[in-house]
């Protein structure tokens, strides 16, 4: 079969809900019994799986006309070595694009929405029928690329963790997190539900939820007029993907004789990082982009510096 190029194209895929259930219960019939017994609609799982499998097969056929294609499961990303000349395609939800971007080092990433009727896809500008054209244009440098700022947590243990959307620092459970926070010349001890650090790309996700909730609470409690608070919130929500700053937000801070509530929101820049020192005996964690399984321990004695990552992602638009 003739191809346009010998460049390698990495097609990143994920498991569907049905695949995960089959892995858990060994057979499809057992998975169906489990779902229907709990009142779920198993046919929805089947439809999602059928559409996703068909989209992956169609994408692979289309990409094979352009270059050498290799499929990589999402779970293999932490141990997969991308070549400097590889082209990367992620077919799935926004989370798959964000997760893939962390493991790239300048390679362009194409986000493909396999099921537009099911998923909105803020990071999925393309459909499967677009792939052949997009990849040909990419090979000829005819596609625009948009840079994405990433956040990085650096520990005094030498470990690091990147985030495309958000970093979470706090407790693994719903218990309060205790830590000392340093920002600029300010510092204080906190007891809270954790700290969220968001990038420009993540500003429409978790960060937006936090800001919207805070604005509404302030308005309803009489702390600010709805118009004033909504105007300020909307301004803060419009953060460019390539912004040279991050936002941090403290969730549910608790004031007491030994804990403060003065450092709750602000910007993290290259000149002004955010530093947290853990005061948690156990179950302290740092995870990125909502993936709780991929975490760093953040217990007593651990110091985390949160800053802009040196490398940036590149999304094809």
pLDDT tens-digit series, residues 296-312: 999 999 999 999 999 99
* pLDDT attached to residue 231: 47
The pLDDT of residue 235? 47
**Cβ neighbours of 236 (radius 10 Å):** 16
- Does residue 64 have a pLDDT over 60? yes
- Do both 122 and 236 map to the same domain? no
pLDDT of residue 241: 92
The H helix count followed by the E strand count for the chain is 7, 18
pLDDT digits (tens, 9 = 90+) for 178-197: 999 999 999 999 999 999 99
Asked, for residue 215, whether it belongs to a domain, the answer is: yes
Are 137 and 212 members of one domain? Answer: no
Residue 44 predicted with pLDDT over 50: yes
Looking at residue 281, which CATH number applies to its domain? 2.60.200.30
Tens-place pLDDT, residues 195-247: 999 999 988 778 888 888 777 777 777 765 554 555 454 545 678 999 999 99
For residue 189, give both structure tokens: 């001890």
Instruction: Tell me: do 126 and 159 sit in the same domain.
Output: no
pLDDT tens-place string over residues 275-296? 999 999 999 999 998 777 778 9
81: Cα within 13 Å, side-chain hemisphere: 1
Regarding whether 26 and 89 lie in a shared domain, the answer is: yes
User: In a 3-state reduction of DSSP, which class is residue 210?
Assistant: helix
- Residue 126 maps to a domain: yes
Does the CA dihedral 31-33-39-45 come out positive or negative? positive
| Average of per-residue pLDDT across 38-58 | 96
Predicted confidence band of residue 257 (pLDDT cuts 50, 70, 90): very high
Whether residue 53 is contained in a domain is answered as yes
Residues 170 and 289 in one domain: yes
Domain boundary at 91, 116, 143, which? 143
15 pLDDT exceeds 70? Answer: yes
Structure tokens at 268: 């993290």
Residues 158 and 300 placed together within one structural domain of the fold: yes
The DSSP secondary-structure symbol of 126 reads B
**What mean pLDDT is predicted for residues 72-88?**
94
Inside any domain, residue 1:
no
Query: Is position 130 within any domain?
Result: yes
One domain, residues 135 and 168: no
Check residue 44 and report its DSSP letter. H
* 28 falls within a domain: yes
- Mean pLDDT, the chain, whole residue set: 91
Site of tokens 């959307």? 165
What pLDDT, on a 0 to 100 scale, did the predictor assign at position 315? 96
Could you give the number of structural domains in the chain? 2
Within a domain: 315: no
| Selected residue with higher pLDDT from 225 and 93 | 93
Host domain of residue 43: 8-143
**Are 115 and 219 members of one domain?**
no
Task: Using alpha carbons, list the distances in angstroms from residue 129 to 60, 63, 114, 118, 134.
Answer: 11, 11, 10, 17, 10
Any domain includes 314? no
On whether both 168 and 117 belong to a single domain, the answer is no
Q: By C-alpha distance, which of 226, 123, 206, 216 is closest to 166?
A: 206
Query: For 112-153, what is each residue's pLDDT tens digit?
Result: 999 999 998 889 999 999 999 999 999 988 899 999 999 999
| pLDDT at site 227 | 47
> Scanning the structure block, which residue is given the tokens 């790239």?
104
Same domain for 189 and 109? no
CA distance 144 to 48: 31
The reported pTM is 0.83
Residues 281 and 136 in one domain: no
Q: What confidence score (pLDDT) does residue 225 get?
A: 53
The answer to whether residues 149 and 201 touch, using CB atoms and an 8 Å cutoff, is yes
């Amino acid at each position: 079969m003739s191809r346009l190029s010998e460049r390698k194209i990495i097609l990143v895929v994920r498991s569907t809900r049905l695949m995960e259930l089959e892995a858990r219960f060994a057979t499809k019939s057992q998975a169906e019994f489990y779902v229907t017994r709990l009142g779920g609609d198993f046919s929805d799982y089947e439809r999602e799986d059928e559409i996703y499998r068909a989209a992956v097969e169609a994408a692979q056929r289309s990409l094979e006309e352009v270059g050498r294609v290799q499929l990589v499961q999402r779970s293999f990303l932490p141990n997969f070595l991308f070549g400097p000349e590889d082209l990367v395609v992620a077919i799935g939800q926004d989370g798959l694009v964000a997760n893939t971007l962390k493991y790239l080092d300048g390679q362009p990433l194409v986000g493909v929405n396999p099921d537009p009727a099911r998923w909105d896809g803020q990071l999925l500008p393309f459909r499967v029928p677009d792939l052949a054209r997009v990849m040909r244009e990419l090979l000829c440098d005819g596609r625009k690329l948009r840079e994405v700022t990433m956040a990085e947590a650096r520990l005094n243990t030498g470990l690091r963790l990147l985030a495309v959307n958000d970093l979470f620092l706090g407790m693994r459970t719903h218990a309060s997190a205790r830590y000392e926070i340093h920002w600029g010349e300010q510092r204080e001890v906190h007891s809270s539900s954790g700290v969220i650090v968001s990038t420009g790309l993540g500003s429409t996700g978790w960060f937006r939820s936090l800001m919207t909730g805070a604005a509404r609470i302030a308005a309803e409690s009489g702390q600010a007029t709805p118009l004033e608070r909504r105007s300020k919130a909307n301004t803060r929500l419009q953060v460019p993907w390539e912004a040279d700053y991050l936002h941090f937000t403290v969730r549910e801070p608790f004031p007491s004789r030994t804990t403060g509530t003065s450092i709750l929101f602000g910007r993290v820049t290259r000149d002004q990082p955010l530093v947290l020192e853990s005061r948690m005996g156990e179950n302290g964690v740092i995870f990125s982009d909502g993936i709780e399984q991929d975490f760093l321990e953040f217990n007593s004695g651990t110091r985390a510096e949160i800053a802009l990552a040196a490398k940036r992602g590149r999304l094809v638009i």
